Each structure stands twice: as C-alpha cells, then as structure tokens.
Structure 1
C-alpha cells in the first residue's frame, strides 16, 4: 500500500469515525460498568487490552463501521487497526456461549465459530478489492470467548485469541472495582 493510499484510507476513517480514542475508551468503560450486551463487553475487553492481545496494533481506525464507503450491506468490521508495520488489521469478535450444553448448543457454537472466520475473511477480500489494497497488507484476527477457535486460524492466516466467559466476567468486576476506587480516591 502506498503512503498516499494509506493516508487516503486514514482520512476516510477519521471522517466516518471522528471520536477520539479517549471518547471510545469512556464508552467501553461504561459498557464494563453496565454490561447490557455480552458482545459489547467482549469488545470492551479487546479495546482496553489491545496491547496485550495484539501488541502490533497501534491506532484504532474504525469500530463497528463498514470500511467500504459505509455500505453496511457489504459487511462492517468490529475493529480496524493500523499496525506498527503499516498494515491494516481487521478484527472480528464473537461472544460464543461455551457454558450452554446439549446438541443444539453444540451446533450453535460450531455455527458461530465458522461464521466469525467467514466474516473476517470475506471482509478482507472486499476491503482489498474496494480500496485496492494488496491482500498482503491486510491482516485478520478473531477474538472470542471460545478457546476452540484458537487453532482454527493457523491454516487460513487469521490470528486468533480467546478469553473464557469466566475470566471475562472476573476481569469486568475487577476493572469496574478499580475504576470506582480511582474515582473515590481522586
């Protein structure tokens, strides 16, 4: 990707996602305090721990937006980050209920596992085609609550990370408590 193409894309991102990092951080901290949506809680964890999970990510360019001129029917990406090497990193998240049991739940989990990979790979191809960005400069990641996905990305060039539902909830309580302590100690 030439510097001009990258600058054009970054300018596009700033136009459709003008919020500062601090504003997005405040939003996600609110989600941690009042977790009304499990998928958003997972996304909050990812955003607030991005350097631990994907240390090569440097700047959030898009969150829950379509990187294809706002054509949401062509797919929207949960996160698009700029990387230290100048590539773009697309991340899809999926809260997968690993605690539910039974045949129907196993089918549902497998469907969700397959879908999250399909989403990120499809988005990568559309993104490359629309913005004329070489596939080699688009990297993909998947972040879920299901450790079963961690090996699935190996053969298809998708970086995978997971956190258990239990650890996610422990983190939420701990993070929320720290924020409350900080607030009262100021």
Structure 2
C-alpha cells in the first residue's frame, strides 16, 4: 500500500505533467528523426527502452519538471517513475562525450560523472524532505553514455546503466528505418 505522502505526490504529478505518455513518445520519436540535442537522444533511448534498463519502473510521473512545486531553482528531474512496488524512481541522464581525447576532455568527463550522481542524490534528498517520503520509498538511477559510471552507483545506492555513443547512434538509425 502506498503511503499518504506518496499518494499526495503522485496526485501532484498528475496535475503538473500535462503531456500523456503518448505525447512524450511522439516528442521523442521526433528527436530520433532530427537529433538536434544529444542529451534528448539519450533520453529518447531511455524512454523507449525503459523496461530493459529499469524494469521496475511502471508509470511516468514527471518528465523534465521540478518535483517541488514550481521551484525549478531547486532542480528539475529528467524522469520520475512510479515503480511496480509502489516506490518513486528518479532517473537522471547525462550525455558524456567518451570519444573526445585529451586532458581537458578527461577532466570534463569526470566532472559530468560526478555531477549526474550529485544531481540524483540531491533530488532524492529534496523529495524526502519536501514530500515527507521515506528514503526506502525513493530509488535512484543514472543513465549515461559512459560505462565508467557503472561501478560508481554501488556505494551510494544508485542504479547505473549506460549505452555507448556508437550503440546509441546505431539504435537511432535502426529505429528510424523501422518506423
């Protein structure tokens, strides 16, 4: 049974997320045809392959919205799902350029790796505080183009998944041809 605070949050999401799942799917299919933003392409892959990446996620509650009223300065969530177990699952995405070389690029990659974990952990904390949702009802995930983040989630209770840039592009081309 979902706790009252969790029910309150789910009700809130349904009032501030105007797009339906189908609307968001159409948006992402447009991104696949015209990939003008690499981060959005990564999000499209996640959205359209959710069950293989994060199988416990069942219902999309928020996409690119602040979980705390209209306080976007407190951070926006890339995706927030209700799980089949009745928990909240927060997913942050980050396109990390793993193909660029050089010291500056290595430093940038590391900064992006750290930032995506910091974002999702901070959002989890804000959810817990603002909505009075118990920590054990909040799950976190990170999805990137960098397999080097896969081990980083272990110690901080964050599920990590990744796809290589090469596979992401191959998927985009095959998805386009099949639709």
Category of TM-score, reference length = shorter chain: over 0.9
- Tell me, in whole angstroms, the C-alpha distance in 2 between the residues paired with 1:116 and 1:3: 28
- Tell me, in whole angstroms, the C-alpha distance in 1 between the residues paired with 2:2 and 2:28: 33
Aligned match of 1:4: 4
Query: Structure 2 matches for 1:118-137, cutoff 5 A?
Result: 118-137=118-137
Give the aligned CA root-mean-square deviation in angstroms.
1.0
Pairing 1:59–2:67 present? no
Count of paired positions: 179
Other structure's SS at 1:115 match:
helix
Query: Structure 2 matches for 1:135-150, cutoff 5 A?
Result: 135-150=135-150
Pairing 1:164–2:161 present? no
Structure 1 ranges of 4+ moved more than 3 A: none
Other structure's SS at 1:123 match:
helix
Q: What is the deviation of 1:14? A: 1.1
TM-score, length-scaled by structure 1 = 0.94
Q: What is the deviation of 1:69? A: 0.8
Q: What is the deviation of 1:11? A: 1.4
Q: What is the deviation of 1:10? A: 1.4
- Tell me, in whole angstroms, the C-alpha distance in 1 between the residues paired with 2:141 and 2:118: 11
Other structure's SS at 1:90 match:
strand
Q: Once the two structures are superposed, what CA deviation does each residue of 1:111-158 show, in whole Å capped at 9, x if it has no partner? A: 000000000001100110000001111000000000000000011100
Q: What is the deviation of 1:20? A: 1.2
- Tell me, in whole angstroms, the C-alpha distance in 2 between the residues paired with 1:115 and 1:12: 27
Q: What is the deviation of 1:103? A: 0.2
Query: Structure 2 matches for 1:73-92, cutoff 5 A?
Result: 73-92=73-92
Other structure's SS at 2:9 match:
helix
TM-score, length-scaled by structure 2 = 0.98
Unpaired runs of at least 5, structure 1: 180-186
- Tell me, in whole angstroms, the C-alpha distance in 2 between the residues paired with 1:61 and 1:154: 26
Q: What is the deviation of 1:2? A: 4.5
Task: Work out which of the two has the higher radius of gyration on C-alpha atoms and give 1 or 2.
Answer: 1
Query: Structure 2 matches for 1:98-109, cutoff 5 A?
Result: 98-109=98-109
- Tell me, in whole angstroms, the C-alpha distance in 2 between the residues paired with 1:26 and 1:105: 34
